[in-house]
Chain A
Amino acid sequence: MTIWHIVFKSLRQHLLSTLVTALSIALAGGLLMSVWSVKEQAQATFTQVNGGFDAVLGARSSKLQLVLNAIFHMEASPANMAWDDYLEIKKNPNVELAVPIAMGDNYRGYRIVGTLPEFLQKTEYAPGRHFALHAPSRIFDATLREAVVGSFAAQKLRLKRGDTFHPYHGLTFDEKEEHAETYVVVGILEPSNTPADRVIWIPLEGVQKMGGHKVESVEELSAVLVKLKSPIAGRTLEQFYNKQGTRLTFAWPIGATMAELLNKISWFDKVLALVAYLVALVATGSILASIYNSMNERRREIAILRALGAHRGTVFGTIVLEAATIAAVGMLIGFGFYFGIMSIVGEIVRAQTGVVLDPFAWNPVLAWAPAGMIVLSALAGIVPAFKAYRTDVAEHLLPIS
């Protein structure tokens, strides 16, 4: 019969309030860990995702709009650029790879992007990793109406090799805007956990010559993805396009552009974190209220323990330990909430951006949040523990009249 046994008995005796309080801790802890983890993972991921390129060249606009449009396939294309501009940067001795992309169509909300086969062949989207296809898929023929579908888009649209579809005009789905051209799916990409997973890739000419598009589209592009031989060369190109020129924008480096965006919305992270902290504080307050309210009915029990020889300190420690145990149980359940919230948020982020958040990724918050909640709860337990400490033994041992 140890102090743990007494704590366990007490928690079991007040099972309902124990469970309700533990659940409030679980929700608060799960929320706190999720907010923190999403914030840090999103910051790390969005500033690291560059699709394997160092820069984006596009029509005159903001760098951020270019990056969101060409790398994350989120924003609308600011304007088109000329084919000759692509040829020019491709010949630049500092450029290792330049891949043109053209946009303007979708299939049931998933963006169709026209590009050259070399995008799928040569792009190293992460160090040492190239796009791979599900066997027996193949890359589209640049001269035919064929498509390679990103893994996430294929899963959501239930497209498989051999399926056909008609593109829809515009970047948002409208049933009335169906194109007459029929495309055949010849390949499905293996998951790359990049925005490319949400895209249907077709030959560049397919977008340029799609029925209903402007005639000049044939000679136009949405952007050019640029991989430099040396990242430092970007400064020269930035100088050339952004400072001296007036027609085009060279968004370099991609990570810094995204970091700039995240900095602008960092206040939102702070608000979310503050809300999570407040929820955690309220939850630990509920431990205080729950145990404190039960103290009146438990004073006789405490008096009996004292009459049997328990020290005041033992009684005090038991109550503090009880509060800490409720928090520990709550945080164990909280990990369930954490994985649940992370899975839902991860799915939403993946659907919107193609970026994958890993619910099982280690983050220091998974250690300090539970430890913090347990310590905070133990501190909250001091108030009822003090009440228990001061219990008048003789008075509470008297027969109840």
Chain B
Amino acid sequence: MPLLEIEQLKKSYALPGGARHTVIDVPWLTINEKSQVALRGESGSGKTTLLNLIAGILKPDEGRVVVDGQEMSALSEPGRDRLRATTIGYIFQTFNLLQGYTCLENVMLGMSFGPGVDKPFAETLLRRVGLGDRLHHRPRQLSTGQQQRVAVARALANRPKLVLADEPTGNLDHNNAREALALIRETCKENGAALLLVSHDREVLGQFKMVFDLARINKALSKETSEESQEAPLP
């Protein structure tokens, strides 16, 4: 059953001269519940913009984004905020943890705008990502890899149906990247969340059975009509 459906999605930005530059033109994309999908995209390919459109942070110029049966793109901004807070988890390349908050508080913050704070569940998540003894540490007291684990726990805190991961291993060394990716995939699976991960790292993309190439599905880049989503063999 599709969890995420995108149809004729377009997003452009105004240029200084008044002309508009189209960065996203995705005719069609579907992701099923509990599936794990990777999106291959180089820098500047619009992958972050696409994730922000899916998360409802940005509003598309045209087209539809349907998440869990609700048309995100048709909702008001507070409606999009609510849907994001209850349905979507977001993992960023730079983790985006709040420095003044402890690990536990960062995770609980991920709950507070959605289903409500569940401290035992937050502690369980942090223990699951191997930070049971770091609950009350602040981000700056953690290694880069540990910070990413907190970000993973926070993304799952609101029991999302869809986790968006934007270059989640981009700031990690090889070993940490491998561990983090495994952790993201495992925890999403354990919590029944679908995963949409964007990356340009071949090794990361190689872990996924289903990989979309943004260069193909985003007509703004390829100028070609994207084909139906398909399992694309890695180059």
Contacts and interface: CB of A to CB of B under 8 A. Distances in A.
Interface stretch (A8-16, A71-79, A115-123): A8-16
A335 B102 CA distance: 34
A253 to B, nearest CB: 65
B57 A1 contact: no
Interface string A102-129: 0000000000000000000000000000
B86 A309 contact: yes
A309 B57 contact: no
Contacts of A313: 78
A304 interface: yes
B113 A308 contact: yes
Interface string B55-90: 101100000000000000000011001101110001
B85 A308 contact: yes
Nearest to B52: A394
B108 interface: yes
B100 A9 contact: yes
B14 to A, nearest CB: 13
Specify the main secondary structure of chain A where it touches its partner.
Answer: helix
Contacts of B171: 399
Interface string A294-324: 0000001101111111111110000000000
Contact of B81 (A9, A301, A310): A310
Contacts of A310: 81, 85, 113
A286 to B, nearest CB: 22
B129 interface: no
A397 B99 CA distance: 15
A393 interface: yes
Range class of the A interface residue count:
20 to 34
Contacts of B55: 307
A305 B108 CA distance: 12
A9 B52 contact: no
B164 to A, nearest CB: 10
A130 B112 CA distance: 67
Interface of A: 1-2, 5, 9-10, 12-13, 300-301, 303-314, 393-394, 397-400
Interface of B: 48-49, 52, 55, 57-58, 77-78, 81-82, 84-86, 90, 92-94, 96-101, 105, 108-114, 117, 154, 158, 170-171
